[in-house]
Amino acid sequence: VSRFRNRIIFPVKGLNGSVIAFGGRVISKTSFAKYINSPETEFYKKGNNLFNIDSAKKFANENDEVFIVEGYMDVISLHKFGIKNVAANLGTAMTEKQIDLISRFYKNLIICLDGDESGQKAAVRAAERLLPLVRSDFNIFFLTLPKDIDPDNFVHEKGKDSFLNFSKNKKEIHNFIWDSYLNETDKKSPQSLALFEKKLKEICNQIKDKTIRKYFLEYFLKWFDEFTPTLT
């Protein structure tokens, strides 16, 4: 109990709806971590579970996409406003087992991260980890919220329709990676451009599905040639 002192406690449920752990969110601003979870056990591994997946799975027939957000309050607020196809990743980077879990119910995953600098860096790292897991029957998107706005704030300030409308700005994972790498590239520097191309090739080579790997690499190289016509 002392672990969750001065925190709002949220039950974390498994697919069958039974409580398998608890999460806590600080009530006021402190130097402590904003979110904490129950210690991992043989039966509870953060990387194997998602907060609210037991509820979100019920709406798979109504939606072909699911939102993954960072916090418990993000889930609760979106759900309150009628966006029920939502889950949270329990404070851990998205794992292959979480992807496998989601893909049992949905074909399109939208990872929704804060628009601040740290959120964007985390998003790029997540995209690099998840690109190797892309399959022909499962799509991964990234949605960047405005700076200093999280899903909880967004839906309370602007409502459900605005959030769903904004979600149309989502980018497929390969487009998100391309844009992120391009933003870090000095377009007038041959060395920077060479590093850009090298990073694209390296990340494509990690894709497990050989057919997907082939087409993603072709897409990237085609875009690179179009982007640097004077160098070809």
pLDDT attached to residue 30: 64
SS3 annotation, 147-169: CCCCHHHHHHHHCHHHHHHHHHH
pLDDT attached to residue 121: 79
pLDDT attached to residue 25: 83
pTM beyond 0.85, yes or no: yes
pLDDT attached to residue 229: 62
SS3 annotation, the chain: CHHHCCEEEEEEECCCCCEEEEEEEECCCCCCCCEEECCCCCCCCHHHCCECHHHHHHHCCCCCEEEEECCHHHHHHHHHCCCCCEEECCCCCCCHHHHHHHHCCCCEEEEEECCCHHHHHHHHHHHHHHHHHCECCEEEEEEECCCCCCHHHHHHHHCHHHHHHHHHHCEEHHHHHHHHHHHCCCCCCHHHHHHHHHHHHHHHCCCCCHHHHHHHHHHHHHHHHHHCHHHC
pLDDT attached to residue 24: 86
pLDDT attached to residue 226: 81
pLDDT digit string (tens) for the chain, length 232 residues? 577 878 889 999 999 999 999 988 888 776 567 778 888 888 888 889 999 999 999 999 888 999 999 889 999 999 999 999 999 988 777 888 999 999 999 999 999 977 777 777 788 888 998 999 888 889 999 999 988 888 999 999 999 999 999 999 999 999 999 999 998 898 889 899 999 999 999 999 999 899 999 999 998 988 888 877 665 5
